[in-house]
Amino acid sequence: MKHVGRLHLVTDARPGRDVLATVAAAVAGGVDTVQVRVEDDLTDRLAYELAESVLRLCRDAGVTCLVNDRLDVALAVGADGAHVGADDLPVAAARRVLGPDAILGATARDPVVARRAVADGATYLGVGPAYATSTKAGLPDAIGPAGVAAVAGAVSVPVIAIAGVTVERIPALLAAGAHGVAVVGAICAAGDPAAAALALRAELPA
């Protein structure tokens, strides 16, 4: 399964979450890519075990499974690929580690970084913060649909808008050239994650 997908669930890294239950519900609701993202201080062993369990859920449903940051874990579990940003392995190095066939996502918030990431081997770009969010601290100002459009216009790989994405905001992001969206809060903080995923999915092309 090597498909970037349009609705990405990024797992909620904070403690006390039932990640597997949320992933199962989100996949049932129509998420087509799951990115396993854990807290920085989670042990490799626990990250590996979680990724293995998430991958099993994804494989059962024909959903793409990526691992955030930890390329060793991505390779060890046999995930479809990984996602890297400014504090992670450089994109070119990540591509060497993962090999030519893996999906490799890279974070970009402007066209210069975006073009460089694609030249270095990124399969898709995670672009944001599209909007303000409380899920991740220390983010720069939101770039909005105009910022997403600037990146989407500069590259030919799929652009996945991230941060603050809601059902209501998806049309503006698609109009800006996004291929899809990545969400944490819109699904993980929802009372009914399956229904939340279904509602997000309904705003996206097939």
Ligand X SMILES: Cc1ncc(COP(=O)(O)OP(=O)(O)O)c(N)n1
Numbered residues of the known binding site for Mg(2+): 69, 88
Query: Distance of CA 68 to CAs 37, 57, 121, 141, Å?
Result: 5, 17, 16, 22
d(CA 57, CA 51): 10
- Determine contact, residues 142/164, Cβ cutoff 8 Å: yes
Report the residue from 85, 93, 111, 136 that binds Mg ion according to the rule CB under 5 A.
Answer: 85
Nearer to ligand X, 67 or 194 (CB): 67
> CB under 5 A: which stretch of 15-23, 27-35, 86-94, 174-182 binds Mg ion?
86-94
Structure tokens at 113: 């970084």
**Is omega for the bond preceding 100 within 30 degrees of 0, making it cis?**
no
Q: How many residues does the chain have?
A: 206
> CB under 6 A: which stretch of 40-48, 117-125, 135-143, 151-159 binds ligand TZP?
135-143
Closest CA to 163 of 130, 122, 199: 130
Judged by CB under 6 A, the chain residues 146 through 185 that form the site for ligand TZP are: 162-165, 183-185
d(CA 33, CA 27): 8
If one asks whether residue 111 binds Mg ion (CB under 5 A), the answer comes out as no
Q: Which residue numbers belong to the known binding site?
A: 35-39, 68-69, 88, 107, 133-136, 164
Site string for ligand X, 7-46 (x = CB under 6 A): -x-x------------------------x-x---------
Site string for ligand X, 151-190 (x = CB under 6 A): ---------x-x-------------------x--------
Q: Most distant CA pair in the chain: distance in Å? A: 41
Query: 127: which strand partners?
Result: 108, 161
Site string for ligand TZP, 86-125 (x = CB under 6 A): ----------------------------------------
